Structure 1
Amino acid sequence: RQVTDGEADLALGRRRPQGRGAWPLHARAGNLALSRMLRTRTGVQLRDLGPMRAARREVLLSLGLTDRRSGYPLEMVVRAADAGWRIAESDVPYLPRTGKSKVTGTWLGTWQAVADMRAVLGGAVAR
């Protein structure tokens, strides 16, 4: 709603776990660390780099996002912040998964996500 109402250029959903096992502890810890690094890099006060987001298509395409793996959500926020976008966050209910995560469900997935996000924060061109 924040985007359609003109209050924000990019809106992110802050996950609020509903029920046991909705968001594993290691994933929460990683998200907390990433949120702090993002805040240091951009000044944007986000508490969650969650998967739920909204933006207008035309302006989103103008960001020139290139990452096609785990760095994509982070790249979107970093480039939006660098472009001076108004970024907002709203609480959304987060339920337990029905399947296994490709990212936080395996060591390889977690390692790839860390590498992708490190490249984005370091300013490297993502894959």
Structure 2
Amino acid sequence: MEKIVVLIPAFNEEGSIDKVIAEIPDNVSEIIVINNNSTDHTAQVAQKAGATVVDQVKKGYGNACLKGLEYIATNKINPDIIVFLDGDYSDYPEELTKIIKPIIHDNIDFVIGSRVKHLQEKGSMTPQQHFGNWLACFLMKLFFNAKFTDLGPFRAIKYQKILNLKMQDQTYGWTVEMQLKALKHKLSYTEVPVKYKKRIGVSKVSGTIKGTIFAGVKILTWIFKYSFK
């Protein structure tokens, strides 16, 4: 049986993190919440809910993910599959089973949970998120003939494959960096349609103008960096 570890970057998600943890399927070996310098009780709530809590004082989504991978390597956990999941309860954690299925049954390297429109709760994604996703996926198709339709954060990848990608982005470019490097390394990939609902709390990215602009710049920077290599 495959050993599955879930990484959940979390910054001030005390109102949602226990709900996310509670709905993760039982076939997961370990749930690791990376407490990304939260100023609330995220760490305590996550620990009480049964997760391993790792602190990352350097803010940034990518920094949190990198810290989680570092913890896995340092503690020689050696999973077969890594699943990334947000801590805001916008995804449906029980759909993890769908996300990992292509890896287990079809030997696919990398799977993205695609937030298809007909499965989205109204208002769960902002217009700028829809446009940003469309633009990034359009450019990846244009430059790399990619078949991605989303930059969804709910995703799974073989552990050895993500090590080979040598991930480095420290902030909002993490997801698109993974997709671009998956293309470069010729990983097999697919998407699985997933449901999506309004998050609990305010988004650190799309909830502010600064966050939206910064995320957009990071994503486009990665795409153009790879397109002109």
TM above 0.5:
yes
Structure with greater helix share of residues: 2
Amino acid paired to 2:134: L
| 5+ long unaligned stretches in structure 2 | 1-100
2:104 counterpart SS class: coil
What corresponds to 1:60 in structure 2?
162
How far is the alpha carbon of 1:25 from its aligned partner? Answer: 2.1
Q: Does 1:37 align with 2:143?
A: no
Corresponding pairs, count: 124
79, 86, 91: which one pairs with 2:193? 91
Structure 1 equivalent of residue 103 of structure 2? 3
Contact 2:132–2:216 (8 Å) recurs in 1: no
**Corresponding residue number in structure 1 for 2:202:** 100
The C-alpha deviation readout for 1:73-111, integer Å capped at 9, x for no partner, is 001010111111111001000011111111111111111
CA contact (8 A) 1:70 1:116 kept: yes
Query: Distance in 1 between the 2:137 and 2:164 partners?
Result: 24
Provide the TM-score with structure 1 as the length reference.
0.89
Which of 11, 14, 35 does residue 114 from structure 2 map onto? 14
Contact 2:206 2:212 in 1 (8 A): yes
Partner SS state of residue 187, structure 2: coil
Distance in 2, Cα, partners of 1:59 & 1:18: 30
Hey, what does 1:48 align to over in structure 2? Answer: 150
Q: Could you list the runs of 5+ residues in structure 1 that have no partner in the other structure?
A: none
The separation in 2 between residues aligned to 1:116 and 1:20, in whole angstroms, is 27
Give the partner amino acid of 1:47.
Answer: T
Question: Which structure has the larger Rg?
Answer: 2
How far apart are 1:19 and its partner, in Å? 2.5
Partner residue, 2:181: 79
Q: CA deviation at 1:118?
A: 2.1
Q: Percent identity?
A: 27
Q: Do the aligned partners of 2:128 and 2:212 also contact (CA within 8 Å) in 1? A: no
What is the CA RMSD across the aligned residues, in angstroms? 1.5
Give 2:112's aligned amino acid: L
